Structure 1
């Protein structure tokens, strides 16, 4: 009778354990199965230009000769580890210096730090209009990237071709979290004018979707810390883990044999 009484208890513990594990890995658990609309966000995700950013700036117009003075010539570079210069020329980039300036042809030094791409486009269009009729200025931030580290399947640097990148996009490009990633405590590190900002996301809560940090900025760093299971495993060496696994297997086998023997005796 005692063994029969223990079986439901073990079953209950097993189900509870499975439920706890599921709760630790499921995203946005507070969203139900019904169609839900989350309030419109007023967060401006447009990045602002910062020192050390690389900008590609091209000026076009109806008269190519008139805008030629504002465009640096295409250049070919020798890539690291290569013996020959690449045959495909690339656009010249302007490096924003530590004072937030770039040195642009004809216009000279321009203060560009803390501007959005759209704001700088408007200012440069106005300045170049003094020399060229109806110029078209195209600006891109060439080094828009974020780093995703920790318990993800593909940690490393993620290069972004556009200006809109959410935390979910970045984690998706990094192959999603591993089963050992702590989904309730994802750390964001951001450099804001030389000051470090820190924010933590709980991916099991829908509040992440309305966070002012939901959209990332260039050079942000995401760190997914290991969960308790991973931290516990790290305390043991590989040989120690093997021994524990072997001992667990033996104990389980003996337990099954003992249960079968007792069952036969009861009959």
Structure 2
């Protein structure tokens, strides 16, 4: 067979063009045929009755928590024994870097520092072991007030949880681990620190994994409905992990060869050459 035959060349070029158009059509189908996703948050908030008891919940203290506790009163000399182990040069990492790469930026935070041990105790000066189990920051402050009041009249107790952290992963702008300075954050606040969901994140199927006293639980949250305000997962707890699942568009594009753009460019060049040759053969 003579490969220089105009009819043979013409048929060959038609076959190349046909494959090229099919390939481009398949690539476009991946992006255009996926279902649209709901991106509105709390669209039914006016129709949801909010439960204040859930909204007012707080995370309980857990082993490994780092507490800065200071005791003050009118006579500072009286409370000195309760402020031992104090270092004026100490700093505590309180906030994740803006890039969301899980590297913490130290912010000065001074005061006597205590680590909750595996039995949920801290060793407090003059008092000894104080148990934190089932206590949150507010209730533990009240507990210390009662104990210190046996020695000091009208003491002022300040308790800060300075290593409260959550991880936000998946389809968010800045995934990473974030430390909450005051130990109190909601799901929306954590997503805000992570730069909000991308356009590919499922807003009706956000997974929260929680570890309480060594037991893992999980819950899926739909933030397109304000009903999640009444969930016990509305307020985050220490070491919560938030995962935003990708939608079908992201899943499909992740399966496409990363060199797809290069292939399309090469195919475009080949098609242009083929059209030029086809035009010459007709002449």
Q: Normalization by structure 1: what TM-score?
A: 0.74
SS at match of 1:182: strand
CA offset at residue 220 of structure 1? 0.8
The change in CA–CA distance for 1:28 and 1:64 in structure 2 (over 3 A counts) is closer
SS at match of 2:259: helix
Q: For 1:195 and 1:233, locate their aligned partners in 2 and report how far apart those are by CA, in whole Å.
A: 36
The change in CA–CA distance for 1:51 and 1:89 in structure 2 (over 3 A counts) is closer
CA offset at residue 114 of structure 1? 1.8
Structure 2 residue 194 is the aligned partner of structure 1 residue 174:
yes
The change in CA–CA distance for 1:229 and 1:247 in structure 2 (over 3 A counts) is farther
Structure 2 residue 257 is the aligned partner of structure 1 residue 243:
no
SS at match of 1:36: helix
Q: Which runs of 4+ in 1 moved over 4 A?
A: 17-20, 77-80, 244-251
CA offset at residue 137 of structure 1? 1.1
Structure 2 residue 46 is the aligned partner of structure 1 residue 40:
no
Indicate which of 238, 241, 265 corresponds to 1:218.
Answer: 238
With CA pairs under 8 Å and 6+ residues apart, which has the higher RCO, 1 or 2?
2
Indicate which of 35, 39, 42 corresponds to 1:28.
Answer: 42
Indicate which of 94, 114, 133 corresponds to 1:113.
Answer: 133
Q: For 1:161 and 1:188, locate their aligned partners in 2 and report how far apart those are by CA, in whole Å.
A: 20
Can you give the 5+ residue segments of structure 1 that lack an aligned partner in the other structure?
Answer: 1-13, 81-85, 252-267
Q: How does 1:91-240 map to 2 (within 5 A)?
A: 91-240=111-260
RMSD: 3.0
SS at match of 2:232: coil
CA offset at residue 235 of structure 1? 1.3
Residue deviations 1:117-167 (CA, integer Å, cap 9, x gap): 222222211221222121111111111221111110011112222344211
The change in CA–CA distance for 1:245 and 1:213 in structure 2 (over 3 A counts) is farther
Structure 2 residue 87 is the aligned partner of structure 1 residue 74:
yes
CA offset at residue 78 of structure 1? 9.0
Corresponding residue number in structure 1 for 2:274: none
Question: Would the aligned equivalents of 1:147 and 1:156 in 2 still touch at CA under 8 Å?
Answer: yes
Aligned residue-pair number: 225
The change in CA–CA distance for 1:181 and 1:135 in structure 2 (over 3 A counts) is same
Q: Normalization by structure 2: what TM-score?
A: 0.70
CA offset at residue 180 of structure 1? 1.5
Question: Would the aligned equivalents of 1:45 and 1:164 in 2 still touch at CA under 8 Å?
Answer: no
Question: Would the aligned equivalents of 2:201 and 2:245 in 1 still touch at CA under 8 Å?
Answer: yes
The change in CA–CA distance for 1:109 and 1:245 in structure 2 (over 3 A counts) is farther
